[in-house]
């Protein structure tokens, strides 16, 4: 069990949004600044809905790295949507692993520190076989990028039938990969709530994060996706909501942001974009809940 007597007002986070790379990839940094991201943001390095990706030009990489250095942002990236690293289809699986390797190399070139990946679906096969495939995928990707510093961050799943739905299952995957210099986790709050972890009060956040620490270990948590949930507790519904407007609510969101157990873990929002200014509204809510000036 982890305990913390720290004054909750002392808990701090860098926080930001998932930001578009439309136009040129370095424009994502300008957008992060304009949105009010503090210290961190997340991108796709290419279109998330295509298998292929245009090569990164040297001038693109140089402009991105220069702006990052000047702005002092930490940058995380997310895998595209199409790959399934737990797929039992050998052709689909091989193609998915190829995309993972490609994305690690793109992140390394850009200076991105962590790449978030979903567990994917093991389809009609067993959890054990799905776990074996995600383990093999990560091991292969790491072995093929030996000079990379990019950390792979396994994101917990909303679906209770997924390999990544329960903290103890994620721990099994990390243990089998056995390379914590290149591996870690990303905690999505909507997914955790949807898979049955209670997060609506200070005490329930404490209990759930102690459960996380007892299985995965909080030292292996490198990023939080802060999303409220449209679905109820245990609904297995991966439907994100604006901060404080969902079933987790303002009390739960505040408890997560001010939990001493999660102190200084960077926070990225993946909230809906249903109207102009919604991103800024969510960033402003987080700033208010943290108590930041």
Q: Mind listing the pLDDT tens digit for each residue in 92-120? A: 999 999 999 999 999 999 999 999 999 99
Tell me the two tokens of residue 101.
């390797």
Is the confidence at residue 293, as pLDDT, over 60?
A: no
Least confident of 159-173, 189-203, 212-226: 159-173
Per-residue confidence (pLDDT) for residue 11, from 0 to 100? 59
Q: What is the pLDDT of residues 8-40, one digit of tens each?
A: 455 578 999 999 999 999 999 999 999 999 999
User: How many domains are contained in the chain?
Assistant: 1
Residue 11 lies in a domain: no
Q: CA 244 to CA 233: how far, in whole Å?
A: 15
CATH number at 173 reads 3.20.20.150
92, 32 in Cβ contact below 8 A? no
Domain region containing 133: 79-277
Per-residue confidence (pLDDT) for residue 79, from 0 to 100? 98
Is the confidence at residue 4, as pLDDT, over 60?
A: no
Is the confidence at residue 292, as pLDDT, over 60?
A: no
Residue 205 lies in a domain: yes
Give the mean pLDDT of 229-244: 97
Is the confidence at residue 3, as pLDDT, over 80?
A: no
Residue 30 lies in a domain: no
Give the mean pLDDT of 81-102: 97
Q: What is the pLDDT of residues 256-288, one digit of tens each?
A: 999 999 999 999 999 999 999 999 999 999 999
Q: CA 80 to CA 24: how far, in whole Å?
A: 18
Residue 269 lies in a domain: yes
The closest alpha carbon to 249, from 191, 189, 170, 206, belongs to 189
Residue 149 lies in a domain: yes
Q: What average pLDDT is seen over the chain?
A: 94
Per-residue confidence (pLDDT) for residue 169, from 0 to 100? 94
Rounded-to-10 torsion of CA 154, 159, 161, 165: 40
Residue 21 lies in a domain: no
Per-residue confidence (pLDDT) for residue 160, from 0 to 100? 77
Q: How many residues does the chain have?
A: 293
Give the mean pLDDT of 194-220: 98
Residue 19 lies in a domain: no
Tell me the two tokens of residue 212.
């996380």
Q: How far out from the chain centre does Cα 47 lie?
A: 17
Per-residue confidence (pLDDT) for residue 171, from 0 to 100? 97
Residue 196 lies in a domain: yes
């Amino acid at each position: 069990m982890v305990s913390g007597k720290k004054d909750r007002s002392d808990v701090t986070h860098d926080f930001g949004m998932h930001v578009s790379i439309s136009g040129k990839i370095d424009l994502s940094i300008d957008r992060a600044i304009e949105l009010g991201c503090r210290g961190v943001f997340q991108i796709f390095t290419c279109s998330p809905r295509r298998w292929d990706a245009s090569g990164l030009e040297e001038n693109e990489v140089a402009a991105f790295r220069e702006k990052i250095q000047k702005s002092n942002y930490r940058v995380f990236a997310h895998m595209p949507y199409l790959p399934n690293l737990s797929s039992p289809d050998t052709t689909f699986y091989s193609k998915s692993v190829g995309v993972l390797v490609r994305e690690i190399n793109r992140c390394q070139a850009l200076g991105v520190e962590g790449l978030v990946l979903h567990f994917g679906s093991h389809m009609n096969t067993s959890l054990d076989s799905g776990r074996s495939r995600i383990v093999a995928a990560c091991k292969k990707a790491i072995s093929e990028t030996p000079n990379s510093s990019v950390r792979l961050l396994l994101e917990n799943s909303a679906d209770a039938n997924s390999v990544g739905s329960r903290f103890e299952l994620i721990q099994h995957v990390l243990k089998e990969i056995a390379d914590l210099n290149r591996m870690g986790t990303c905690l999505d709050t909507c997914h955790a709530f949807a898979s049955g972890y209670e997060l609506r009060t200070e005490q329930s956040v404490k209990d759930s994060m102690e459960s996380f620490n007892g299985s995965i270990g909080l030292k292996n948590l490198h990023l939080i996706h802060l999303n409220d949930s449209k679905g109820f507790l245990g609904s297995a519904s991966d439907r994100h909501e604006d901060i404080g407007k969902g079933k987790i609510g303002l009390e739960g969101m505040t408890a997560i942001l001010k939990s001493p157990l999660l102190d200084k873990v960077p926070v990225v929002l993946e909230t809906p974009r249903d109207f102009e200014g919604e991103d800024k509204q969510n960033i402003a809510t987080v700033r208010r809940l943290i108590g930041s000036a």
